[in-house]
Amino acid sequence: MNRKTARLALSLVTLAGLAACGGANPAETRSDGTEFPIVAHWTATSAPISPATVTGTLTFEQRLGFHSDVTFSVTGPANKAFQWRIFRGDCSVNFAASNNTAATGLVLFATTQSYPDITLDASGQATVSPQIAGWLDSLTAYSVRIRPTATSTFNGVNPAACGNLKYASAK
């Protein structure tokens, strides 16, 4: 068989293979982040910093696809509103980083829009469950911080409560 005949035969086999596919097996699309598997579990318990009395419990389920399901339950004074954020840096750090690439200081994880304010009910409890885009690095220290709702930007400094995130891989 000469080269022209071999190329023609290969082309016909390729075309036949493509025709056999004919759309019976379309590309899979995932539009719901909860369809992605969990790859890491993060938890934290925020303890009050005197004179505050607010506490919080965080669960952070990190998924493939740059997506995390978060649940944050807060207990404190009835009918009070609080802000909360996750920062790079543990609870021993109490100064803002000079920029997002600084080696030291607190850096906000995700965007401020990722963190809905929490208003406690008459019994002094509330839970929020946002989905946050982003990926926590297992070799980096993070903390969850709470403060009373204010009009200024929350940079993590002088929180009412703080808790260090603990990492566990999904098995």
User: 147: closest CA among 159, 136, 137?
Assistant: 159
State how many domains the chain has.
Answer: 1
* pLDDT at residue number 6: 59
Is position 84 within any domain? yes
Mean pLDDT to the nearest integer, 85-97: 97
Listed in sequence order, the residues at least 6 apart from 92 whose beta carbon sits closer than 8 Å to its beta carbon are none
Q: Which domain holds residue 97?
A: 35-169
* pLDDT at residue number 97: 96
Is residue 21 predicted with pLDDT exceeding 60? no
Is position 4 within any domain? no
More confidently predicted of 35 and 112: 112
Is residue 31 predicted with pLDDT exceeding 70? no
What is the CATH classification number for the domain harbouring 75?
2.60.40.200
Is position 15 within any domain? no
* pLDDT at residue number 159: 97
Mean pLDDT to the nearest integer, 146-167: 94
* pLDDT at residue number 151: 82
Is position 30 within any domain? no
Q: Which percentage of the chain shows pLDDT scores above 70?
A: 80
Q: How many CB atoms lie within 10 A of CB 40?
A: 16
Is position 124 within any domain? yes
* pLDDT at residue number 24: 54
Q: How many CB atoms lie within 10 A of CB 154?
A: 18
Residue-level length of the chain: 171
Q: Tokens 């000469």 sit at which residue?
A: 2
Is position 3 within any domain? no
Q: How confident is the model at residue 150 (pLDDT cuts 50, 70, 90)?
A: confident
Is position 25 within any domain? no
Q: How confident is the model at residue 144 (pLDDT cuts 50, 70, 90)?
A: very high
Is position 64 within any domain? yes
Distance CA 70, CA 56 (A): 13
- Maximum Cα–Cα distance for the chain, whole Å? 89
* pLDDT at residue number 8: 58
